[in-house]
Amino acid sequence: MEPDVSPISLQETFCFSCHPAVPCFNECCRDLNQFLTPYDILRLKNHLGLSSGQFLEQYTSQHVGPDSGLPIITLKPLDRKDLICPFVTPKGCSVYDNRPSSCRTYPLMRGVSRSRESGLMVEQFMVLKEPHCSGFDKGKARTVQQWIDEQAIAVYNEFNDRLLQIISFKNTQKPGTLDIKSRHMFFAALYDLDNFRSQIIKNAIVADLPIDSSLVDKALEDDLALLEVGMSWIKHALFGIR
Ligand code: SF4
Ligand code: SF4
């Protein structure tokens, strides 16, 4: 049976409940095809107490977008057959508080497009009903907005939208395949944050960046500030945007 995908607005309700007693418990954590955003990686590597380099090496596969040349990072499944998530346990998700945005958003999906005229981001939601998922059977009703609040998704969406904005700049400033050097810069500044921090310290690579120097100072200790600096640096160094 094919999944059913229906559009839903922020104020519309849907019924859903997921807990260890559902017959399909953990079913959605196999057959993995999980893309990770820079903010997903920041949260997961800190949850696990790993550096970004260790996390990327141990838990991810790295690909290159065939048309864009941009780095694409996916979670490496435990095995090749069932494609089980490395973080699933008999008791559920072992990284629950810091699970990736797509896991938080499920059974909803969020799509974002950027208006060419206004530059504003426009979001759209869908409800994904997969045949194996019994969470809809007796679930309590809540609006999409309530789901976003309950699952603490807003901060993920904020940083994921900033990434989308950078990709949109890339598509207008450098259409086609990104060169290897630019791809490595993109990867280092957005995904391999701890390495980027050491580059800031060793090589002062953000010295000319038109941002508040206090944010750069904060980034030496704070990963969220570091990701903000990384995003500003990529926009400036690769696409000439101040
Ligand atoms: S991160 Fe957690 S919720 Fe997401 S697929 Fe893995 S085990 Fe499941
Ligand atoms: S109810 Fe749906 S989301 Fe919950 S464990 Fe089952 S398949 Fe996964």
**Can you tell me the distance from the alpha carbon of 63 to that of 77, in angstroms, rounded to the nearest whole number?**
15
Q: Which amino acid, residue 217?
A: D
**H/E run at residue 184:** helix 180-190
Q: How far is CA 111 from CA 9, 53, 108, 170, in A?
A: 12, 29, 10, 19
User: How many whole angstroms from 85 Cα to the centroid of ligand 1?
Assistant: 6
User: Tokens 């309700």 — which residue?
Assistant: 13
For the stretch 199-238, pLDDT in tens is 988 888 888 888 888 999 999 999 999 999 999 999 999 9
SS (H, E, C) 36-58: CCHHHHHHHHHHHCCCHHHHHHH
Strands 4-8 and 121-129: antiparallel
Atom of ligand 1 nearest to the CA of 99: 1
CA-nearest residue for atom 4, ligand 2, is 18
The pTM of this model reads: 0.94
Question: Per-residue DSSP letters for 76-130?
Answer: PPS-TTT---TTEETTEETTGGG--HHHHHTTEEEEEEE-TTT--EEEEEEEEE-
- Give me the pLDDT at residue 118, please: 77
Q: Is the CB of 134 under 6 A from ligand 2?
A: yes
12-61: pLDDT as tens digits: 999 999 999 999 999 999 888 899 999 999 999 999 999 999 999 999 99
Q: Is the pLDDT of residue 116 over 90?
A: no
Cα angle at 39 between 175 and 87, to 5 degrees? 120
Phi, psi of 75 (to 5 degrees): -75, 130
What's the sign of the alpha-carbon dihedral 41, 78, 72, 200? Answer: positive
Ligand 1 binding pocket, CB closer than 6 Å: 29, 85, 87-88, 93, 95, 99-100, 103
Q: How far apart are CA 174 and CA 12, in angstroms?
A: 39
State how far the alpha carbon of 211 is from the alpha carbons of 139, 160, 207, 208, in Å.
Answer: 47, 21, 9, 9
Which residue out of 25, 88, 153 has the highest number of ligand 1 atoms within 8 Å of its CB and is therefore the one to mutate?
88
What does each C-alpha distance from 183 to 5, 63, 126, 188 come to in angstroms? 34, 11, 32, 9
How confident is the model over 133-147, as pLDDT tens digits?
999 977 889 999 999
**Cα(5)–Cα(2) distance, rounded to whole angstroms?**
9
